[in-house]
Amino acid sequence: MREISAVLQEQRQFFASGKTRELAFRREMLLRLQRLINRNEQAIFAALHQDLKKPACEAYATEVGMVRAELSHALKKLGTWARPRRVRTPLAQFPASSYLYQDPYGVALIVAPWNYPFNLALAPLIGAVAAGNCVVLKPSELASATSTLLARLLGEAFPEHYLAVIEGGIEVNQALLEESFDKIFFTGSVGVGRLVMAAAARNLTPVTLELGGKSPCIVERDANLDLAARRIVWGKFLNAGQTCVAPDYILVHEEIKDDLVRRMVQQIAQFYGADPAQSPDYPRIVNRRHFDRLQALLQKGQIVTGGTAVREDLYLAPTLIEAVDWQDPLMQEEIFGPILPVISFATLDEALQIVEGQPRPLALYLFSNNRKVQRRIMAEVSFGGGCINDTILHLANPNLPFGGVGTSGMGSYHGQASFTAFSHQKSVLKKALWLDIPLRYAPYAGKLKWLKLFLR
Ligand code: NAD
């Protein structure tokens, strides 16, 4: 890899040439990305399997398929998104018209995590390319097979002065953050998010931060328990729980707790068989450090099902756990693995008090068919996004911007929001020449009463 600063200098030059502003160029780059993905699907599956033992079906649903859907959506909508948008002009400005121009930021840095190493590198990239930026992409070193593959495929398909993949770990990322970018898009942990924002502050670089946190899943007394159990178990144990929007803990009404737990245990067996270690559909923990961290979380509480851990295989069984305390490390940090604590509540007030006592979560899931309960939670609780009567799937609708709030992140992407995340909205008022109302010019004598008439 060449010097980062040399790559950046070339990208600046290329951006200044104006090429990336051409819609035909952007469209061609998106099509090139699309072809590259279509041709290399098997290699992508293999890399994801090597990194996390992801089954192909899961890899397609949560990574390749989502990226393909984002790509086709962007290709379809690019013309509309990029067009200057006319907005209304107040009467006081007459005669004039007003426009929002979508301006690419310039050279953007995208830093990706390891848990969905393909999707979380390429979905932001689609937004950056559609919006007309040059990009430096840093995949996660912890998903090394995917990182290597991305570097090779993108390296072969795109010139470095337009799109450069820079592989590496913390030091490389620190070196990147020393440089001055026009936009930084970071997906990862809250702690590193703070470092990224501090580094960005030095150059006043705008940031999008896609971070994490403990996402609650509330199950009310009236919930459809079979569906709740199935959809929670799916959303939690997908990617062995290593999902930023996985339900982190369950808050369930005390009257139905045992029933829900029983059904979730059954559901785990239905998905992964009696011994999930043998299932081809159950992924592994990314590395030993995370494995040890997760195993340590199991020291407290009462395991209802699961708990089996095989270090050499990085296997941690889908685990339900009860009798946890909010002081336990399990409840103090984002779990980010296949451990699901179940906590009961007596009243919705109590459940909401628990949720609101925590930092604002990236996601919230509610299982209840009661409209009053649904309305109350939507009106009262602050969270990034979520689902009513499902988990995870809000991510898969490109018309729903995805992002956090508070410590779970700032800014959003997916669909048009990805385009907006990488664009500056240039606001322009276009004044007519045929009339110049003298009200604003000195001398002001006698003009105040007229000003008050127009400007209020
Ligand atoms: P991480 O913060 O450890 O790493 C993310 C990136 O930052 C990697 O590319 C890594 O190389 C780099 N990095 C790590 N430490 C650094 C440091 N000290 N200085 C500079 N750069 C550093 O996150 P992760 O472990 O890869 O991912 C897990 C976290 O990401 C979880 O908290 C999860 O909730 C969050 N996440 C959020 C989303 C989202 O969309 N909001 C998606 C996936 C993961």
Question: Residues 300-348: pLDDT tens digits?
Answer: 999 999 999 999 999 999 999 998 999 999 999 999 999 999 999 999 9
> 445 CA distance to ligand 1 centroid (A)?
62
Distance CA 109, CA 206 (A): 11
Q: Cβ(272)–Cβ(230) under 8 Å?
A: no
Q: Taking the CA of residue 361 as centre, how many other CA atoms within 13 Å lie in the half-sphere pointing to its CB?
A: 26
Q: Cβ(211)–Cβ(193) under 8 Å?
A: yes
Tokens representing 28 are: 């061609």
Q: Does the pTM of the predicted model rise above 0.85?
A: yes
> Residues 254-283: what's their mean pLDDT?
98
Distance CA 160, CA 367 (A): 47
Partners of 365 in the beta sheet? 217, 387
Return the C-alpha torsion angle 198, 204, 209, 211, nearest 10.
10
**Domain 216-403 falls under CATH 2.130.10.30:** no
pLDDT band at 454 (very low <50, low <70, confident <90, very high): confident
> 189 CA distance to ligand 1 centroid (A)?
4
> Residues 139-158: what's their mean pLDDT?
98
Fold type of domain 4-82+101-211 = Aldehyde Dehydrogenase; Chain A, domain 1 (3.40.605)
Q: What is the mean pLDDT of the chain?
A: 97
Q: Nearest CA to 418 among 153, 119, 142, 179?
A: 119
Ligand 1 atom at minimal distance to the Cα of residue 168? 11
pLDDT, position 2? 65
E strands in 309-367: 309-310, 315-316, 319-322, 339-345, 363-367
User: Which residues of the chain are in CATH 3.40.605.10 domains?
Assistant: 4-82+101-211
Alpha carbon separation from 16 to 3, 12, 107, 178, 182 (Å, rounded): 20, 6, 10, 22, 13
**Helices and strands, number each (H, E), in the chain:** 17, 18
Partners of 164 in the beta sheet? 136
User: Which residues of the chain are in CATH 3.40.309.10 domains?
Assistant: 216-403
Return the C-alpha torsion angle 152, 154, 156, 158, nearest 10.
-160
**Catalytic residue positions, numbered:** 210, 244
List ligand 1's pocket residues with C-beta within 6 A.
111-115, 120, 138, 140-141, 169-170, 173-174, 187-189, 192, 195, 210-212, 244, 334, 336, 362, 404, 409
> Residues 76-84: what's their mean pLDDT?
98
CA nearest ligand 1 atom 6, residue: 113
* Mutation test residue for ligand 1: of 137, 138, 166, 173, the one with most atoms within 8 Å of CB: 173
Q: Nearest CA to 409 among 187, 151, 135?
A: 187
